[in-house]
Structure 1
Amino acid sequence: MLKFLILFVLCFTSSALAEGITCSDIVPLKNRRYNISLTAFGGVGDGRTLNTKAFREAIFQIQQWGREGGTLLYIPPGVYLTESFNLTSHMTLYLAPGAVIKATQVTHNWPLTAPLPSYGRGRELPGGRYMSFIHGDGVNDVVITGENGTIDGQGDIWWNMWRKRTLQFTRPSLLELVNSTNIIISNLIFLNSPFWNLHPVYCSNVVVRFVTILAPHDSPNTDGIDPDSSSNVCIEDSYISTGDDLVAVKSGWDEYGIAYGRPSSDITIRRVNGSTPFSGIAVGSETSGGVENVLAEHINLYNTGVGIHIKTDTGRGGQIRNITVLDVYVQGARKGIKIAGDVGGHPDDKFDPKALPIVNGITIKNVRGVKVLQAGLIQGLRNAPFTGICLSDVNFLGVKGSARSPSWKCSDVLGAAHQVSPWPCSALTNNQSGSCANYSQV
């Protein structure tokens, strides 16, 4: 398995160099002044010894040294069992080949943290949330990397609590960074998250590259990467196979997200492959702070619920605009494309049903799909139709031998289409020029 993953990353590296387009310059990689090993603080990689104290003491030492060049914390080969711990600024967490940081499955004393203000409560349950396994709040200049080491959330105990409805609070993410800047996450395997895997929220300047994210397809809500009310985020050259959306751009939930008012903007998703029973590339459904300027390109999706999914709901408010999706291949999907205004629940009954989302300027080009049951669904809102929708060079083929063709359904939408097969719907005018730039977005 490890050999396969190393080859996978090497292939992605070659591909990235061939494309000549990467996000590596968003957050420059720095040489650290100090280097310390977890074993110097009592770390034992036998898979049984609890290493919480070692992690916390090592990171406390990094805090004391401060910003003068920063410090690299080296995790040698071995399996390091630990409770959750917090990162600090100006540090690199570096996992050697064969190094595993593994979450304990003792949940009764897992630390709690406050609900995110843009959500008003935990995503699953009212009240606070269990803190993420690896957590950072207000940190700057943090690198989480290695040589294909693994961060293992051992999430099955949390999934079973969710299934049995015995959770008291919202499950922990595997890695959550809050109010943080200049973050690099690269060259690691993230395994079996209890909840969402990578969750940068209220962050800026974040790069996620060359990661593999894995969880069973029946694991609940194990989203791969969720940029949330964050800006200048790049996700590229990665493989994700989980039980929920592979990448989902978010910005807060109903009245809480509207009040917090922090959009997600300038998000790039490039050269991502993966599989999920839910959505491949998603925007939403929590978009109350707004989502704008998203580019997703060179995406390959296999055995996926919905290939490209833009989702919101009444009560969300916010604007979703300037979303561009290019060069996507889908093999096996219930729906190729879905843009809908009736997706997702509400945190409570205080949402304003008159807070309607505005969806404008969605461009989807060069998409190919095979074994697709339904080509697409575009369902706007009666009092807030989706406008500026452009489909260009989109082709979906159904399942061989099936009598059902991969047709479209549309309502309350305005836009244009060019070379789309099967033809989407009369609401999208036939744009002979093939350009998405010049048609009316009324």
Structure 2
Amino acid sequence: MDFKIVEVFNRSVTIELESEAVFRQQAEFGVYINGEKSLMTDKNVVSVMGLLPDTKYKIGVDAGGELVEKEFVTGHESVLLDVTKFGAVGDGKTSDTAAIQAAICACPADGTVYLPAGQYLTTPIFLKSDMTFWLDEGAVLLGETDRKKYPVLPGMTMSTDEKDEYNLGTWEGNPLDNFASLVTAIDAQNLDIIGPGTIDGNAQNADWWKDAKVKRIAWRPKTLFLCRCRKVRVQGVTVQNSPCWTVHPYYSDDLAFLNLYIHNPSDSPNTDGLDPESCSNVRVLGTVISVGDDCMAIKSGKYYMALKHHKVTENVQIRNCKFERGHGSVTVGSEAAGGVRDVRVSQCEFIGTDRGLRIKTRRGRGERSVLDDILFENIMMEGVHMPFTVNMFYFCDPDGHSDYVQNQAPAPVDEMTPVIGSITGRHISCTGVSSCVLCAVGLPESPIGKLCFEDIKVSFAPEAERVPERPVMMDNFDEMSGRSIYAKNVRELVLSDVEISGAADGEPELVGVERQSVSGLEYV
């Protein structure tokens, strides 16, 4: 069994098996460091912690008695700064913010700020460039519950010469004041955040989830916020109980999220797992997400940010991950006015989410909102109610129910009209479907460009277990149960080698589909 070394840190390494298996192997295998067994696992992406910096190692994978090994050298570390030496107590009661921030400020280039086991109660801490932030086994960074102790990041500040804007705060795609996140990095580069410890927003013990859509002082914080950062890697950390979106990279590039575990209660509001917004070159590998909203939502802001600070989100790779519960497994939109392109989702498990592939936009996102070249392949969905949904009438905005957004008559094509290009799904298995397999609704004036689904095998849950649901969040759209394929306002629909078992209907319902290519569509 061959593997590749994905990333080498100063005290850890991440590898990925070169296998077509989805997320995990059928049996556990051994991972060895210098010939000694380090751990047993069945996961395709594995991180080994507890190494020493500036050291040559051999890492090996035992594939049925044959040990395949590769060499690597851990990264350089200039100094290790233990936060307890700066006065951090770690008892979960004493405020450790100042001590941890002092260690960060004192950390030289290539240094590591180290949190040993303990509960470190803090308000937001701010990381910087050229450092490692290491939460060891049993270390918990625990968020204070009093919002009045959290600094506010202003949405926009005019430059002194009044020719430019400086953006810090953001809320649902707009530049608005929001509280700083428990871990915040602004304009940082060459930053590593490594585990196996925990970053805990502690929202269940605060009032962040109460009246969640009401602004109180400022908008709710995330738990990990990366603003205009570059070359950031996050490995092996648990992030949980977030006040709002959990991990939010924003206008950042060259990012790696490896073997994270992101968890929020299923009823926690707007607690998306990982939301790259106006970011490029993003890798998400071996990560498990179970949250109260979309597991991942790929975004690029609302109209103002796309107009004044345009940045496409592009080159996003999501591989060997597991997404559970939540409204969508991997979502594109709806705040995607800057456009999203070149998204690859592969070898992932989607378990018990409402939707699998979820695309959402609406009139008003603008002509730069082009969602294109999105590929899902080699996916296993289990208990996903609606595997594929595409919606250009999304209503979750203050004006989302207005006639402008929801009117299904053709509107003029102008600078406010969004575009959906090519979306492909192939080599996908879906079991326990309840509502529908594919529900796609384009704008009459801007139909969905191309939907292509190849080698798809679907089985519905028994009729008694199905709950009628509205697959797309738009007005004047009926609930569905046991439906196979519904497509409206689509330029081209390709269905090839699609098998659907247990559907209540026996053929697709196509409305305003300009071209269709159907081969090997079988109802069982």
TM-score with structure 2 setting the length: 0.73
**Structure 1 partner of 2:476:** none
SS in 1 for 2:444: coil
SS in 2 for 1:108: helix
Q: Does 1:39 find its partner at 2:84?
A: yes
**Structure 2 partner of 1:76:** 116
| Mean Cα deviation higher: 154-163 or 257-266 | 154-163
What is the distance in 2 between the residues matched to 1:341 and 1:140? 36
Counterpart among 385, 395, 418 of residue 334 in structure 1: 385
Q: Does 1:323 find its partner at 2:374?
A: yes
Counterpart among 1, 5, 11 of residue 42 in structure 2: 11
CA shift at 1:333, angstroms?
A: 2.4
SS in 1 for 2:305: helix
1:10/1:93 CA distance change after superposition, 3 Å: farther
CA shift at 1:31, angstroms?
A: 2.3
What is the distance in 1 between the residues matched to 2:87 and 2:273? 32
Deviations 1:81-113 (A, max 9, x none): 111110010110101111111011121231111
**Structure 1 partner of 2:185:** 136
Q: Does 1:57 find its partner at 2:102?
A: yes
1:266/1:121 CA distance change after superposition, 3 Å: closer
Deviations 1:157-214 (A, max 9, x none): 2443335947342110000001110100011111101111111111110000001001
Give matches, 1:37-436, under 5 Å.
Answer: 37-62=82-107, 65=108, 67=109, 70-115=110-155, 122-123=171-172, 127-146=176-195, 148-156=196-204, 157-163=206-212, 165=214, 167-317=216-366, 318-346=369-397, 354=414, 355-373=416-434, 374-402=436-464, 404-413=481-490, 414-422=492-500, 424-426=508-510, 427=513, 429-432=516-519
What is the distance in 1 between the residues matched to 2:385 and 2:448? 22
| Mean Cα deviation higher: 98-107 or 119-128 | 119-128
1:421/1:258 CA distance change after superposition, 3 Å: farther
Counterpart of 1:34, as a letter, is: V
Q: Check conservation: 1:306, 1:336, Cα contact below 8 A.
A: yes
What is the distance in 2 between the residues matched to 1:114 and 1:126? 8
What is the distance in 1 between the residues matched to 2:181 and 2:398? 21
SS in 2 for 1:342: coil
CA shift at 1:155, angstroms?
A: 1.2
SS in 2 for 1:53: helix
SS in 1 for 2:482: coil
Q: Check conservation: 2:497, 2:520, Cα contact below 8 A.
A: no
Counterpart of 2:119, as a letter, is: V
SS in 1 for 2:294: coil
Identity %: 26
What is the distance in 2 between the residues matched to 1:12 and 1:293? 26
Counterpart of 2:487, as a letter, is: C
SS in 2 for 1:57: helix
CA shift at 1:421, angstroms?
A: 3.2
SS in 1 for 2:432: strand
Counterpart of 1:389, as a letter, is: L
CA shift at 1:363, angstroms?
A: 0.9
Structure 1 or 2: more helix by fraction: 1
CA shift at 1:420, angstroms?
A: 2.0
- Give RMSD over aligned pairs: 3.0
Q: Check conservation: 1:398, 1:406, Cα contact below 8 A.
A: no
| Mean Cα deviation higher: 232-241 or 365-374 | 365-374
What is the distance in 1 between the residues matched to 2:457 and 2:346? 16
SS in 2 for 1:333: coil
CA shift at 1:125, angstroms?
A: 9.3
Q: Check conservation: 1:119, 1:257, Cα contact below 8 A.
A: no
Aligned length: 414
CA shift at 1:14, angstroms?
A: 5.8
CA shift at 1:256, angstroms?
A: 3.0
SS in 2 for 1:32: coil
CA shift at 1:8, angstroms?
A: 11
1:410/1:8 CA distance change after superposition, 3 Å: farther
Counterpart of 2:199, as a letter, is: I
Counterpart of 1:342, as a letter, is: F
What is the distance in 2 between the residues matched to 1:384 and 1:263? 20
SS in 2 for 1:313: coil
| Mean Cα deviation higher: 30-39 or 378-387 | 30-39
* Unpaired stretches in structure 2, ≥5 consecutive residues: 1-37, 48-59, 62-72, 157-165, 406-411, 467-480, 501-506
Q: Check conservation: 2:328, 2:358, Cα contact below 8 A.
A: yes
SS in 2 for 1:218: coil
| Mean Cα deviation higher: 165-174 or 134-143 | 165-174
SS in 2 for 1:100: strand
1:304/1:289 CA distance change after superposition, 3 Å: same
1:29/1:153 CA distance change after superposition, 3 Å: farther
1:293/1:433 CA distance change after superposition, 3 Å: farther
* Unpaired stretches in structure 1, ≥5 consecutive residues: 1-6, 19-27, 435-442
CA shift at 1:132, angstroms?
A: 1.1
Q: Check conservation: 1:315, 1:353, Cα contact below 8 A.
A: no
1:164/1:401 CA distance change after superposition, 3 Å: closer
CA shift at 1:396, angstroms?
A: 2.1
1:104/1:182 CA distance change after superposition, 3 Å: same
| Mean Cα deviation higher: 122-131 or 268-277 | 122-131
| Mean Cα deviation higher: 29-38 or 111-120 | 111-120
Q: Check conservation: 2:290, 2:326, Cα contact below 8 A.
A: no
SS in 2 for 1:161: coil
Counterpart of 1:190, as a letter, is: V
Counterpart of 1:408, as a letter, is: I
Structure 1 or 2: more strand by fraction: 2
CA shift at 1:13, angstroms?
A: 5.0
1:56/1:189 CA distance change after superposition, 3 Å: same
